[in-house]
Structure 1
């Protein structure tokens, strides 16, 4: 097998330029969540880097043009561009917007040579302001890496070509599926090149890093991979729809894509299978059939399937000139058994996500689509002095507020409590603490206890106090009309009957002790 990979560097930048009719002025950058996501070559030369805050990047380069991130735009524009390759090669697969792989052996036989076929692929993608690089090798992964050099790797020389490349090439391209943490760990152990990784025993890699490490090792060794667009016999799992009115608008295409993706994944779930390669086929006015194959490294989720179908339909309708769509078919070309089943959370390996995590994500996204984005939230560490204030709940799938790991004066020392109560205003959080003379204990203005703790009552239970630490005063929001003054106290106690120790984090606020959290 010989594979050609055609790579469009910084594709979101190129897609934005295409969508705007090449009217955007350099230097260019794509922004997402107030940070720079992609930068153009001209912007990089001026010091703009990925991950920068947009405001800081604009202060470094006042002439910087920042375009909002739009994955739908990237997919739509590339779906239309990928149609150009059909005139050169029959076996074309889209790995992601901005990267395709082609069976260059078949195309080379047809056009006379690999070199000529590769040159024709570059020419087919030629647009004003669009850059493309190509790499040729025996394996898909090696060809993808070669496209970034770029290079044509002679047959049988993939391992020697990869040997001298830095290890970071594994994470330079997301479609390779290399785990970033695993690559970082290998680098910390002194592995600097792909050749050094390939020289390590596969058993040692799999024992230390599991499946994620073995995947990186196979790439470095140039292990044989799947063919480009092979027709693998499988059960008929395709789904189709023939709308009453031909699809002519993008919004109608999006609705059809979502509904058909749901039907496909219901059928896949019933069969206990995942889809790795999907063919999107459409019949247009006049009876013409247009199709495109999408390949992914990980199993397609329902949302990912709907996105790819929507991008493809949008490309055909907007830029492909194919006419109204009268019939739409989704055909799984390559399916596989899930790695694990029966669990919802954490069913993957220690080094990578599993099918259960994908299922959980799909469930969360479906609930959000029905009940709203705030219906499913996830905790994020944000820093703070207490316990509850260190965790913020943000909508699932969104980035939370930036956390600060700097020291917080008055923060509770480690170890932190494991359970958080219902809140300081919850009736069940009220606690009464007394000294040996049954006198209630409070906190003075100097942040000292009024007496030595002896016992406390919480609900209907009584506990003898065996130890305590604190109090730690916090004078927060002192600039407001009603400052938030509290003091925290760690307390350990036990019941007179079973002598089982219990730990609490108490808060003194508004002349009352309350339980903020418990130690278990």
Structure 2
């Protein structure tokens, strides 16, 4: 097998220039959340680097052009560009926006040589203001590495070529799916080149680093790879949609992409499989059939599938020559079993592992199925936290003071809410009478003991109450009158375990708002 890889350096920058017909002024950076995420070659020459704050980058280069990050633009523009490669090679596979591989052996046999086919691929991708580097090798991973320096590795010499490459090339390209923590650990152990990595016995790598170690060892050793865009025998899980009216607009394409992605992932869920390589097929009004294969380094989520379908449809619709789409088909070409999830919070578990697990759950149960807490400020404990869907960018929180807020240290665990039946507690004084909060916001007696469910606690300390009267300007239905009390007690008596509570007096009864 021979593989050609075309790499478009700093693709988000090139996509922005392509969208604006190369009229953007250099130096140019792509920014997200006020930080540089991608910078052009001219920007790097001015001393700008990824991760730099935008204001620092503008100080280094006052003439800097800053463009907001837009993954949809990157995918849409690349889908349109990748379509021009179909005239040169029959088997073309998009690894990510900005990186594509093709079957060079078949293309070379058709066009009269690998050098001719590779040159034709570069010419087909040529656009004004767009830079392209091409590489070739016997394996996909080796070709991707070679493309970053524009080299053609002769047949049978992949291992010798990789042996000279620094270890850092594994994490320079996300499509290689190399685990950053594993590569960092190998560097700390003295491994500096892929040749030194390949010299380690495969069993030792698997034993020490698991599947991540086995994967990067196969890359370093130039192990035989899969073919480009092969038609693998898989279960028939394809889904299709034929709209009543042909799809001509981008917004209609986005709606169809979302609906079809949901249908596909429902079938994948029933089959207990994940998709890592997807074929998008469209039938046009002219009778023509166009298709594109997308591959990812990890299992596609419903959102990721919809994004790729939308990018591809947008590229076809805006290319000018495709015509309206009369039918759309999604066909999973390569499936894999879901990863076994062990200890999510174990020592070797990474943020990427957690994110992949969360995204897999969201792809099956919906975006709102996994929430993450976000601090928003407030006087109480529960009102300081807002739960938002995982992955959503929350708006910035305004910094302000909260007079009467519960002082630090804050409780470690929230209760079930003041309306939850299990949060109700009974507070009594030494004579056994209930301790309540009077109209003057005072305690009717000194707290002595607390009953919570079937457990009894002897109080060793308490503080409060602190009355809260919020919404006094609103109607009685919206008015919020409570009083809070801190209490510490021992279960069963003086020798029992210590527990601390933040109690709230509401609707003539005490409730547990949080536990220390």
Name the counterpart of 1:378. 372
**Aligned positions of 1:148-297 closer than 5 A:** 148-297=148-297
The Cα shift of 1:504 comes to 2.3
Q: 1 CA distance for matches of 2:61 and 2:162?
A: 37
**TM-score, scaled to structure 1:** 0.78
Show CA shifts across 1:120-162 (max 9, x none). Answer: 1111111110001011111111111111122111222212211
How much has 1:489 moved relative to structure 2? 9.1
How far apart, CA to CA, are the structure 2 residues paired with 1:28 and 1:464? 67
**What is the match of residue 420 of structure 1?**
414
Distance 1:57 1:423 in 2: 47
SS across alignment from 2:319: helix
Q: Work out whether residues 340 and 355 of structure 1, in 8 Å CA contact, stay in contact via their aligned partners in 2.
A: no
Distance 2:201 2:395 in 1: 42
| Partner SS, residue 25 of structure 1 | coil
**Do the aligned residues in 2 keep the contact of 1:344 with 1:357 (CA within 8 Å)?**
no
CA distance change for structure 1 residues 517 and 266 in 2, over 3 Å: closer, same or farther? closer
Counterpart check, 1:503 vs 2:499 = yes
Q: How far apart, CA to CA, are the structure 2 residues paired with 1:194 and 1:37?
A: 27
Question: CA-to-partner distance for each residue in 1:346-384, whole Å, 9 max, x for gaps?
Answer: 89x94646985443122564438xxxxxxx63036999x
Summarize deviations over 1:215-253 as a string: whole Å, max 9, x none: 122111111111001111233222222212111111111
Question: 1:493 maps to which residue?
Answer: 490
Q: CA deviation at 1:172?
A: 1.1
Q: Does the aligned pair in 2 maintain the 1:346–1:356 contact within 8 Å?
A: no
The 1:36/1:398 distance shift into structure 2, 3 A limit, reads farther
Contact 2:176/2:297, CA 8 A, preserved across alignment? yes
Map 1:459-478; keep pairs closer than 5 Å. 463-464=457-458
| Residue 442 of structure 2: aligned partner | none
Residue 361 of structure 2: aligned partner: 360
Superposed CA RMSD in Å reads 4.0
Q: Structure 1, residues 194-219: CA drift from partner, whole Å, max 9, x if none?
A: 22222222222222221122212211
Equivalent in the alignment of 1:397? 391
Give 3-state SS (helix, strand or coil) of 1:292's partner: strand
Q: Aligned pair in 2 of structure 1 residues 257, 419: CA closer, same or farther (>3 Å)?
A: same
Q: What is the distance in 2 between the residues matched to 1:382 and 1:97? A: 36
Conserved? CA contact 2:301–2:359, under 8 Å: yes
Distance in 2 between the 1:401 and 1:191 partners? 43
User: 1:36: Cα distance to partner?
Assistant: 1.3
Tell me the distance in 1 between the aligned counterparts of 2:182 and 2:381: 32
Q: Deviations over 1:252-310 (max 9, x none)?
A: 11111111122222222222222222111111122111111112222222211111111
* Mapping of residues 117-156 of structure 1, within 5 Å: 117-156=117-156
Q: What does residue 321 of structure 1 align with?
A: 321
Q: Which residue of 2 aligns with 1:450?
A: none
For residues 18 and 237 of structure 1, the distance between their equivalents in structure 2, rounded to whole angstroms, comes to 36
Number of the residue aligned with 1:82: 82
Residue 269 of structure 2 contacts residue 364 of structure 2 at CA under 8 Å; is this kept in 1? Answer: no
- Find the counterpart in structure 1 of residue 443 from structure 2: none
Q: Distance in 1 between matches of 2:168 and 2:489?
A: 50
Q: Alpha-carbon deviation of 1:429?
A: 9.4
Distance in 1, Cα, partners of 2:103 & 2:489? 69
Aligned residue number for residue 407 of structure 1: none
Asked if 1:38 is matched to 2:38, the reply is yes
Provide the rounded CA distance (Å) in 2 between the counterparts of 1:402 and 1:216: 39
In structure 2, the CA distance between the partners of 1:103 and 1:115, relative to structure 1 (3 Å rule), is same
Does residue 62 of structure 1 match 2:62?
yes
TM-score, structure 2 as length reference: 0.78
CA separation of 1:454/1:199 partners in 2, compared to 1, >3 Å: closer, same or farther? Answer: farther
The count of residues paired between Structure 1 and Structure 2 equals 467
Partner-residue secondary structure (3-state), 2:203? helix
**Counterpart position of 2:72:** 72
Which residue is equivalent to 1:485?
none
Q: 1:31 to 1:354 in 2, by over 3 A?
A: closer
| Partners of 2:280 and 2:331 within 8 A in 1 | yes
Q: Distance in 1 between matches of 2:183 and 2:374?
A: 25
CA distance in structure 1 between the aligned counterparts of 2:280 and 2:98, rounded to whole angstroms: 18
Deviations 1:65-117 (A, max 9, x none): 11111111111111110011111111110111111001111111112221221
Q: Which residue of 1 aligns with 2:24?
A: 24
In structure 1, distance between residues paired with 2:179 and 2:396: 23
Match of 2:477 in 1: none
Residues 354 and 74 of structure 1, relative CA distance in 2, 3 Å threshold: closer
Runs of at least 5 residues in structure 2 that lack an aligned partner in the other structure: 398-406, 436-445, 464-484, 505-509
